[in-house]
């Protein structure tokens, strides 16, 4: 029986502890809480994969951001070092180093070695603090092979080094410096993390986000691991208003400047930035104490409620519905949010998180506060900016008309049984199992590949849905047009989730894995991108919850005599040629899945034991939104620029 991830981590930890020779009774006394962190790291950082690894950096950076929120820090530097370590440095007050009254050791050592120790629990040092788990830098220390902290405070510089959370020596004074701050350098422990290499792009996206959310804060990230160091500097005077402009950079906005307002009520600080564009999708990003609340919560509910009510109130007050001459007498929420890009950021002293990923705000009082502020401030803005108000209203009216058309399209589709939950599309070859946890849906390009996949699959848990041609580019279409596309209706019907803000329900998904399997050529890449665009814009929750995958069929088949090998890159082909020799070797480049017989397709691409699947993740929803707009939107110049900048990274280009 295969070992669980937890068991593997425990074994690696035990081995490392024995190797260090520092796991004696005295050490256990010091590390009462931290041993638990090493034995059950997922409880503290989510997992020991890529997400948990990068969370270590976020946890240290969050301490520096908290200093900025308290008004004591202006600059944060994050450096990925050549030896695999990460350094986070700030110009805050510096972690206190005087003796802790009850622990009788320096406060720095308490912070680094004791769970739930810090200055964020009584709201005296910090009114609010960021960080999802709030477990602090002690968890980073516990899960690091080595961790070094340098503190500049009161004119002196102090230093202490830890090994798997254990101090190597007492805190010592190593010099003098006028400027205060904290510098932390840590190396993730390979006994905990199977892969310890930080991804620059993932960290840079979070640093950019933090700079947007904390206007005036300067954040620099530098990667010194390659031959040529790369670095980015983030600093936004406009804060979340600039964030909205960045999100809308390749969209046609309806008015020039975002609507921005801020307020503080009952200890809760609130910021809002709003700007409509001419697209047909809404993008609302919500944050609590710098945490991206991807599941929304009470602040999002309050914002949506106030937005709809205020725009309708303004329209009624100004007789914009023309006494019922229009087809609608009131706009619905989805109407006023069509084409909306908004950022809602609240700072809450004691946030309560709910939801599957603990990123849904549950504080009931926040809903009313947000409603009140948005209602007052937006009403005032609309009264003072009638031209903008008119454009927002007209956009909503256009959405309402399209919504009515979409409703009629849905009714027509239902009559044709294309979207009825009890009726599956005829081209779907379903599986016999019904448990979504164990079933897979392959969305396959073309009938030829679909035929091979149907014959080669395991009928118990693998369903096949062949698509004919390219689906509609939903980036440029409203719902009524989307629902008129037969291939999209077929996908919706097969997946079973429904579509639209009122009907979509991820819990009704009929398959645990949605696997996109297209040809390894330009057309196949385009079809895959069109499908991903549809899923990202209208079924994003499936991506967030990890249901979407991309199949990786081999690019080459290499035959020598009766032996058959498969390669996924040109480098693999070269390696195989070098190992079998060129004589008698036949290399075939697969351009279409239909070129493989059912047995080959099963062995290379569909067999869970041998296949390679790429899970589609959403590390940064804002960045993904910008990229989808760039690649699939109306503006040509940003797309040309993107292609020119990224052409050098293309491999195995089919021309």
Is residue 166 within 8 Å of residue 22, measured between CB atoms? Answer: yes
For residues 597 and 484, what is the distance between their CA atoms, to the nearest angstrom? Answer: 34
Band of pLDDT at residue 654, cut at 50, 70 and 90: low
Q: Are 222 and 80 in contact (CB under 8 A)?
A: yes
pLDDT at 31 (0 to 100): 43
Does pLDDT of 29 surpass 50? no
Q: What is the mean pLDDT of residues 498-508?
A: 85
pLDDT (tens digit per residue) in 308-346: 999 999 999 999 987 555 567 899 999 999 999 999 999
- Which of 619, 629, 612 lies closest to 529, judged by CA? 629
The predicted structure's pLDDT at residue 131: 53
Taking Cα atoms as reference points, which of 334, 295, 311 lies closest to residue 478? 334
Q: What is the pLDDT of residues 425-463, one digit of tens each?
A: 878 999 999 999 999 999 998 877 888 899 999 999 999
pLDDT at 316: 93
> What are the CA-CA distances from residue 373 to residues 6, 262, 268, 296, 621 (Å)?
46, 8, 11, 18, 26
Share of the chain above pLDDT 70, in %: 84
Whether the predicted pLDDT of 175 surpasses 90 = yes
With 60 as the cut, is the pLDDT of residue 206 above it?
yes
Residue 417 has pLDDT above 50, yes or no: no
Instruction: Please give the pLDDT value at position 350.
Output: 87
User: What's the whole-number mean pLDDT along residues 611-616?
Assistant: 88
Residue 114 is predicted with a pLDDT of: 86
**Residue 269 bridge partners (DSSP):** 264, 347
For residues 176 and 111, give the distance between their C-alpha atoms in angstroms, rounded to a whole number: 22
Span between the terminal Cα atoms of the chain, in Å: 47
- The DSSP code for 253 is B
| 364 vs 524: which has the higher pLDDT | 364
547 pLDDT more than 50? yes
Q: Which residues contact 483 (CB under 8 A, 6 or more apart)?
A: 406, 409, 410, 413, 419, 489, 499
391 in helix, strand or coil?
Answer: helix
Per-residue pLDDT tens digits for 617-644: 877 666 767 776 767 766 667 767 766 6
For residues 258-280, average pLDDT:
95
Q: Report the pLDDT value the prediction gives residue 133, as an integer from 0 to 100.
A: 47
Instruction: Look at 98-112, 139-153, 407-421, 563-577 and tell me which has the smallest mean pLDDT.
Output: 407-421
20 versus 476: which is more confidently predicted? 476
pLDDT score, position 70: 87
What sign does the CA torsion over 605, 608, 609, 614 have?
A: positive
> How many whole angstroms separate alpha carbon 444 and alpha carbon 58?
39
Provide the pLDDT for residue 418: 45
Reading the block at residue 39, the tokens are 């034995």
Query: What's the whole-number mean pLDDT along residues 564-570?
Result: 80
pLDDT at residue 30, rounded to an integer: 43
Q: Is 50 exceeded by the pLDDT of residue 469?
A: yes
How far apart (Å, rounded) are the C-alpha atoms in residues 654 and 651?
A: 9
What single string gives the DSSP state of each residue in 306-354? HHHHHHHHHHHHTTTTGGGTSS-SS--HHHHTTTEEEEEEEE-SS--EE
Least confident of 11-15, 59-63, 215-219: 11-15
- State how far the Cα of 640 lies from the Cα of 630, in Å rounded to an integer: 9
Q: Where are the domains of the chain?
A: 5-71+92-198, 240-410, 416-553+598-649, 556-589
Give the pLDDT confidence score for residue 561 in this predicted structure.
78
Confidence of residue 357 (pLDDT cuts 50, 70, 90): low
* CATH topology assigned to domain 5-71+92-198: Heat Shock Protein 90 (3.30.565)
Pairing outcome for strands 440-445 and 462-467: parallel
Please check the confidence at residue 518 and state whether its pLDDT lies above 60.
yes
- Supply the pLDDT for residue 224: 95
Q: What percent of the chain has pLDDT over 90?
A: 52
Residue 148's pLDDT is 97
SS3 letters for 95-141? CCCCECCCCCCEHHHHHHHCCCCCCCCCCCCCCCCCCCCCCCHHHHH
| Pair type for strands 563-567 and 75-80 | unpaired
Cα separation, 527 vs 467, whole angstroms: 10
Residue 244 has pLDDT above 90, yes or no: yes
Mean pLDDT of 223-251: 94
Residue range 255-280: mean pLDDT, rounded: 95
**655 or 473: which carries more pLDDT confidence?**
473
Residue 482: pLDDT above 80? yes
Q: If we measure between CA atoms, which residue out of 545, 511, 338 comes closest to residue 429?
A: 511
Q: What mean pLDDT comes out for the span 370-378?
A: 97
190-207: average pLDDT? 94
Q: Residue 655 pLDDT > 90, yes or no?
A: no
> In this predicted structure, what is the pLDDT of residue 100?
87
Quickly name the fold that domain 240-410 has.
Ribosomal Protein S5; domain 2 (3.30.230)
Kindly state the average pLDDT of the residues 591-609: 86
Average pLDDT value for the chain: 85
User: Cβ neighbours of residue 460 under 8 Å, at least 6 residues apart?
Assistant: 431, 432, 433
**Over residues 162-179, mean pLDDT:** 94
Decide: 287 and 359 in contact? Cβ < 8 Å: no
Residue 201: CB atoms within 10 A of its CB come to: 10
Closest listed residue to residue 529, CA positions, set 453, 596, 465, 475: 475
Let me know: does 409 contact 484? Beta carbons within 8 Å.
yes
User: 6 pLDDT exceeds 70?
Assistant: no
Mean pLDDT, to the nearest integer, of 148-177?
95
User: 3-class SS at 412?
Assistant: helix
Tell me: pLDDT of 73 over 70.
yes
Residues noted as catalytic: 445, 519, 521, 523
pLDDT-based confidence at residue 132 (cuts at 50, 70, 90): very low
Please report the pLDDT score of residue 27 as a whole number.
45
Question: When comparing pLDDT for 343 and 499, which is higher?
Answer: 343
| Top-confidence residue, 568 or 37 | 37
Average pLDDT over residues 175-202: 94
Q: Taking the CB of residue 77, how many other CB atoms lie within 10 A of it? A: 19
* CATH class entry, domain 416-553+598-649: alpha beta
Contact residues for 421 (Cβ-Cβ < 8 A; gap 6+): 496, 498, 508
Alpha-carbon span 11 to 48, nearest angstrom: 14
In this predicted structure, the answer to whether residue 513 has a pLDDT above a threshold of 70 is: yes
Q: Hey, what are 254's tokens?
A: 């309806």
Task: Please give the average per-residue pLDDT across 224-246, as a whole number.
Answer: 94
Q: Give me 535's structure tokens.
A: 């899923």
Instruction: Give the pLDDT confidence score for residue 270 in this predicted structure.
Output: 97
Q: Quick check: 345 and 287 in contact, CB under 8 A?
A: yes
Q: Please choose, from the candidates 147, 139, 134, the residue with its C-alpha nearest in 3D space to the C-alpha of residue 56.
A: 139
pLDDT at 26 over 50: no
């Amino acid at each position: 029986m295969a070992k669980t991830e937890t068991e593997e981590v425990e074994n690696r930890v035990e081995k490392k502890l024995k190797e260090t020779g520092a796991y004696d009774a005295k050490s256990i006394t010091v590390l009462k809480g931290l041993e638990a962190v090493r034995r059950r790291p997922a409880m503290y950082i989510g997992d020991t994969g890529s997400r948990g690894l990068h969370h270590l950096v976020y946890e240290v950076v969050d301490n520096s951001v908290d200093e900025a929120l308290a008004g004591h820090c202006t600059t944060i530097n994050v450096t990925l070092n050549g030896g695999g370590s990460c350094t986070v440095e700030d110009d805050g007050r510096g972690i206190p180093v005087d003796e802790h009254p009850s622990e009788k050791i320096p406060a720095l050592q308490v912070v680094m070695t004791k769970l739930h120790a810090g200055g964020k629990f009584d709201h005296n040092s910090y009114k609010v603090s960021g960080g999802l788990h709030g477990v602090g830098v002690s968890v980073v220390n516990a899960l690091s092979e080595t961790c070094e902290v340098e503190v500049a405070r009161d004119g002196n510089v102090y230093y202490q080094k830890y090994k798997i959370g254990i101090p190597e020596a007492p805190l010592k004074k190593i010099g003098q410096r006028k400027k205060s701050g904290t510098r932390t350098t840590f190396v993730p422990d390979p006994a905990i993390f199977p892969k310890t290499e930080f991804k620059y792009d993932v960290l840079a996206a979070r640093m950019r986000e933090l700079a947007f959310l904390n206007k005036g804060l300067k954040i620099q990230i530098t990667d010194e691991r390659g031959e040529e160091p790369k670095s980015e500097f983030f600093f936004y005077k406009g804060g979340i208003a600039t964030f909205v402009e960045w999100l809308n950079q390749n969209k046609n906005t309806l008015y020039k400047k975002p609507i921005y307002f801020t307020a503080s009520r009952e200890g809760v600080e609130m910021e809002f930035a709003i700007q409509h564009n001419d697209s047909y999708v809404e993008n609302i990003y919500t944050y609590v104490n710098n945490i991206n609340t991807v599941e929304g919560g009470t602040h999002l509910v309050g914002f949506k409620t106030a937005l709809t009510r205020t725009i309708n109130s303004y329209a009624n007050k100004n007789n914009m519905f023309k006494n019922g001459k229009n087809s609608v007498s009131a706009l619905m929420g989805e109407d006023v949010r069509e084409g909306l890009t908004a950022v809602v950021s609240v700072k809450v002293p004691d946030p309560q998180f709910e939801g599957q990923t603990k990123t849904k705000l549950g504080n009931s009082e926040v809903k009313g506060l947000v409603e009140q502020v948005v209602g007052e401030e937006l009403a005032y803005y609309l009264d003072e900016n009638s031209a903008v108000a008119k454009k927002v209203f007209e956009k909503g009216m256009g959405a309402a008309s399209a919504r009515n058309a979409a409703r009629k399209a849905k009714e027509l589709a239902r009559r044709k049984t294309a979207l009825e939950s009890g009726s599956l599309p005829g081209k779907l070859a379903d599986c016999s199992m019904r448990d979504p946890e164990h079933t897979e849906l392959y969305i396959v390009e073309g009938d030829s590949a679909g035929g091979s996949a149907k014959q080669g699959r395991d009928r118990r848990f693998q369903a096949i849905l062949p698509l004919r041609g390219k689906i509609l580019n939903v980036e440029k279409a409203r719902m009524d047009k989307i629902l008129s596309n037969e291939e999209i209706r077929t996908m919706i019907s097969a997946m079973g989730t429904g579509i639209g803000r009122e009907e979509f329900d991820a819990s009704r998904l009929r398959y645990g894995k949605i696997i996109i399997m297209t040809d390894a050529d330009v057309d196949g890449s385009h079809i895959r991108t069109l499908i991903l665009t549809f899923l990202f814009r209208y079924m994003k929750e499936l991506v967030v919850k990890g249901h979407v995958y991309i199949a990786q069929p081999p690019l080459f088949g290499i035959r020598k005599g009766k032996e058959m090998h498969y390669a996924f890159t040109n480098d693999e082909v070269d390696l195989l040629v070098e190992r079998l020799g060129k004589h008698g070797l036949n290399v075939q480049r697969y351009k279409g899945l239909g070129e493989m017989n059912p047995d080959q397709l099963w062995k290379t691409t569909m067999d869970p034991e041998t296949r390679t699947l790429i899970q589609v993740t959403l590390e940064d929803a804002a960045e993904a939104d910008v990229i989808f707009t760039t690649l699939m939107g109306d503006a040509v110049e940003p797309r040309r620029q993107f292609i020119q900048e990224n052409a050098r990274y293309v491999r195995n280009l089919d021309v």
